[in-house]
Amino acid sequence: MTSSLYERCQQLFADYPLAIRAVNHRRTVRSMVLMLPDDPDIRFFVLSQDCGEGSPVYSLRPWYGCERVDIEEGSIDDFTKVDVKAMIYGVPVPIPRHGSLLGWRSGDAVTALVAIHANYTPACPEPSWKVMPLAGIPAKNWPPFTGESLLGPWFWSYYWAGSIVSLSALIAGTPDTVFWTDREEVLGRDCCAVARDITSPEGYTLRGGRYVYYQALRTDKPVPSMRILLEDAGKIDLAPRFQRSEYNDRLAAGG
């Protein structure tokens, strides 16, 4: 256990890079979402890091709210103002940015996508995520956390073991291959169409096919064919979006 709240903030940003997202254009302000999974009413908080001048300054606020508490280096911890449970027991939620796509690895193949929603809206007031298995694979091969309503501490075990991977660089490097398609009227959800197998430098392959929200796969509604999905004039090539994200990440790192 660290000796101060400031050191705890430093530890969280050092140990959980996937949970960090940039807040401003200059990338000097970053944030992560903390979740209290064992609280009677699960709560979310936003921990921010401002590296604009001198030593970083941290602040903590509720996920939906404006009241924040600053945590500065050398300051005396005021435990009456800071939600200590959030700082000590809060688990960083892997939300680097809205619209991120993670992959679930089964051996050397990615067989499911995990789509992240990180922007607050009245319809979606808390961070959320969608598991989208590859259509046609047995349900027993879906990610073991498919039915979970919230990302929990278990996520990091899978991530550190290499079972969950970020697909940003792979998608950015393969234009005209990975598409987001609007299937709301047919399936009740959007889906992702991967035109062909693509292999990452790390050696895993994102299999070509249709990736569909798992609840839609459990219904009797037929999934549109790849031909129909790829002929859809409204489909969105995801490569340019992730190219911008990768470029901004390199700028933030000084590359």
Q: Please provide the DSSP assignment of 209-247 as one string.
A: EEEE-HHHHTSSPPPPPHHHHHH-TT-EESHHHHHHHHH
**199-226 pLDDT, tens digit each:** 999 999 999 999 999 988 888 778 889 9
pLDDT bucket at 247, cuts 50 / 70 / 90: very low
pLDDT of residue 28: 82
Check: pTM over 0.85? Answer yes or no: no
191-194 and 209-212 as β-strands: parallel, antiparallel, unpaired? Answer: antiparallel
Tell how many helices (H) and how many strands (E) occur in the chain.
8, 16
pLDDT of residue 254 exceeding 50, the answer is no
Per-residue pLDDT tens over the stretch 116-153: 765 656 666 566 678 999 999 998 889 998 987 666 66
- The answer to whether the beta carbons of residues 214 and 148 sit under 8 Å apart is no
**Pair 12, 47: CB distance under 8 Å:** yes
Listed by start position, the domains of the chain span 5-93, 101-252
